[in-house]
Structure 1
Amino acid sequence: MTVTSAPRDRLLQTAAALFYREGINGVGVDRVLSEAGVTRATMYRHFPGKEALVVAYLEQEDAHLRDLFAAAAQAAPDAGPRDLLALVIDGVADDATRHHTRGCPFINASAEFPDARGEVRAVVRRHRDWFRSTLAALAEAAGVEDPQATAAALVLLRDAMLVGAYLDGAEVAADFRRTARAAVGLD
């Protein structure tokens, strides 16, 4: 069970912003504490160490994407599976231009935590497994011929879009939309 408190939330939000903007290993705990305005004792009350804070940051990122999927379904409760898939594609593209302008937080974290058996990489794996399986379920419901291959293609396209948006700018989102819609047979 996660204990929530204003200092914990402030610490996590500060860490998330710094980790995403400057890199996890480029930001020390002292800086996070200073900018969050919390003590070391407060941090250790909520997180046993920096890696636990990184895990919480990535879990928050995962929740953000899950919320994006839920919002697509809520925005159009009567939408059919093909329309819902189109809404998800649009939401993912929008996310890359509004919230994730410095690449994928999961790819970035994986680059900084190369041990595939570590807890950080376990969170990344759970996120990617959920993302892929959710896309496959949507593709299957939409009647796509090979939902697993389609989901794998969409994951790769999202990865490429997030990197491309960071390197080349927001216009990459339009390329993602067009290519993703073609991959699922929406255009």
Structure 2
Amino acid sequence: MDSAKLPARDRILDAADRLFYGNGINATGVDAVIEEAGVARMTFYKHFGGKEGLILAYLGGRETRWQALLDQTVQDAGDDPDARLLAVFAALRTWARSLSRFRGCSFVNAMAELADAEHPARALVTSYKRGLRRTVLDLARATDAADPELLTDQLLLVYEGAISTFALGTVDDAVDRAYATARQLIAAATPTPAVA
């Protein structure tokens, strides 16, 4: 659909998504979003009340899209618990490659930019990251891993590291290497049956 035909609220969110992720939240003013969206100032304030409301909607939209991709990728992995856990990294690879300019995790970026500990977006970021950990832990518990908590922590360290190194360009093929590393960690977490 032509973006000019989208409802005003969607056009504002699309503009905020591009500008906040591409340029940063602090570097992007409300005026830039309004101009990019092609809406009146009053329309912007009617839908979001101000920049804080827009930041929350932007992060909420990113979380919704990521969760939909993750859920679909896990579902596509079938019934094998190891494959379902590895799907977290397959989804990350799909997400990272879908962006024309990958700037890392929008949630981590927001946390770094929003210095005020009371900013409501910080609570949303924390909730998102805790939710991701719960998802990975649930998937790890479904495997034969001897210590699902440890495996979850290891996988999340690889996951977060892959995002950072991919964004920085410091590791070639970071998301592919993270996928391979996750596969090794999952395999190593399963006890080898004793030979009689």
Question: Partner of 1:147 in structure 2?
Answer: 148
Measured in 2, the distance between the counterparts of 1:142 and 1:89 equals 16
Question: Partner of 1:183 in structure 2?
Answer: 185
How big is the shift at 1:166?
A: 1.4
How big is the shift at 1:155?
A: 2.1
Alignment of 1:11-90 (within 5 A): 11-76=12-77, 78-90=78-90
How big is the shift at 1:93?
A: 2.2
Q: Deviations over 1:61-117 (max 9, x none)?
A: 1112211221113324x4221121122221112212323711110111011112333
Structure number with greater Rg is 2
The 1:52/1:130 distance shift into structure 2, 3 A limit, reads same
How big is the shift at 1:25?
A: 0.6
How big is the shift at 1:162?
A: 1.2
Unaligned runs of 5+ residues in structure 1 are none
Measured in 2, the distance between the counterparts of 1:92 and 1:61 equals 13
More displaced 10-residue stretch of structure 1: 122-131 or 141-150: 141-150
Supply the AA of the counterpart residue of 1:80. D
Q: Deviations over 1:131-174 (max 9, x none)?
A: 00000000000122222222222222222111111111761111
Supply the AA of the counterpart residue of 1:7. A
Q: Deviations over 1:27-65 (max 9, x none)?
A: 110010001001111111111110110111111111122
More displaced 10-residue stretch of structure 1: 115-124 or 24-33: 115-124
Q: Calculate percent identity across the aligned residue pairs.
A: 35
Measured in 2, the distance between the counterparts of 1:139 and 1:81 equals 8
TM-score by length of 1: 0.89
Question: Partner of 2:103 in structure 1?
Answer: 102
Q: Following TM superposition, where does structure 1 have runs of at least 4 consecutive aligned residues deviating by more than 3 angstroms?
A: none
Secondary structure in 2 aligned to 1:181? helix
Root-mean-square deviation over aligned CA pairs: 1.9
Supply the AA of the counterpart residue of 2:9. R
Unaligned runs of 5+ residues in structure 2 are 1-5, 190-196
TM-score by length of 2: 0.85
